[in-house]
Structure 1
Amino acid sequence: MRIHAHYTNTAPSNPCATSISGEFEDYTFSVTGLTPCSGTPAPGNTLSSSNPVCSGVAFTLSLSNSLPYSGITYQWQSSPDNVTWTNIAGATSSTYSATQSAATYYRCLVTCTNSSLSAYSTVVNVTMNPVTSCYCVNTNTTNTSYYISNFTATGTTTINNTTGFSASGYGNFTAMTVTQMQTQTVTFSITETGGTMHFGIWVDWNDDGDFSDAGEEVYYNSTYNTTVSGSFTVPLTAAAGSHRMRVVGNESGTVAACTGSAYTECEDYTIIVTALPNCSGTPNAGTATISSASGCASTNFTLTATGLSIANGITYQWQSGTTATGPWTNITGANSATLTTSATANTWYQLVTTCANSGLSNNTNVVSYTVVGDVCTCGAYPSNYASNTADEDVGNVTVGTLNNSSALGAVAGGAGSIAFRYSNYAGIVGAPNLQQLATTNFSLSSLTTGTSYNNGFQIYIDYNQDGDFGDAGEQVYSSAASTSGPHTETGSFVVPLSATVGITRMRVICVETTFPSTSNYSSTAYSYGETEDYCVNITAAPPCSGTPTGGTTTASSTACGHTGAISVTGSTGARINISMVFFSNWGRTLDFNCRCNRSHLYTCCFRPLLPEGNYLHSKWWQCIFIIIAVHHFCSV
Structure 2
Amino acid sequence: MKKLFTSLILFLGLIFGLSLHAQVVTIGTGTSTQRYPLTPYYGYQRSASLYTAAEINTPGGGSILSVGWEATATMNITFPVKVYLKSVPSTTTAITAQNWNTVTTGATLVYSANVTSLAVGWNTLQLQLPYTYNGTDNLMVLVETNYGGSGGGSGTAGAGFKYSTATASHMYFEADTTAPAGNGTVTANRPNVQLTFGTPPTCLPMPPGGSLSTGTITATSAVLNWTAYSSAPAGGYDIYYSTTNTAPTAATPPSQNVPSGTTATLSPLVPSTTYYAWVRAKCSATDQSAWSGPITFSTPATCPPMPATGSLSMGTITTTTAVLNWTGFGYVPAAGYDIYYSTSNTAPTGATVPSQNVPSGTTATLSPLTPNTTYYAWVRARCSATDQSTWKGSITFTTPATCPPMPATGSLSIGTVTPTSAVLNWTAFGYVPAGGYDIYYSTTNTAPTGATVPSLNVPSGTTATLSPLTPNTTYYAWVRARCSATDQSTWKGPLSFYTGYCVPTAGTSSTLYYLNNITTTGGIANLNYTANSYTAYVNNSATVVSAIPSTSVTVNLAAAGNNTYYYYIWVDWNNDMNFNGPGETILATTGYVATATATIPITAGQAPGNYRVRMATSELSTITSCGPAPYGNYVDFTLSVIALQPCSAAPPSNIAVSNLTASSAVVSWIPAIGATYTLRYKKVTDVTWTTINITTPLTSSQLLSNLADQTQYEVQMATICGGTTGAFSPSVNFTTPPLTYCTANPTGNTGTSGYINNVTVTPTNTPIMFNNSGSDGYKDYTTDPTKMIILERGSGNTNKISVNKYWPGSSSSYGISAWIDFNRNGTFETSERVLNTTASTTTPVTATFPVPTIASGNVYTGTQPTRMRVVMSTSSTNTPCGTFTQGEVEDYPVRFVDSQTCTTAPPTGITVNNISATNATVSWISTVGATYTVRWRVAPSGAWQTAAVPAGQNFYGITSLTEQTNYEVQVSTTCGGSTGAYSASVAFTTPPLAYCQMTGSGTNDHISNVTVTSSNLGVPPMNNTSVQTNYISYTTPETLITLDVNSQNN
Q: TM-score, normalised by structure 2?
A: 0.18
Q: Higher relative contact order at CA 8 Å, sep ≥6: structure 1 or structure 2?
A: 1
Structure with greater Cα Rg: 2
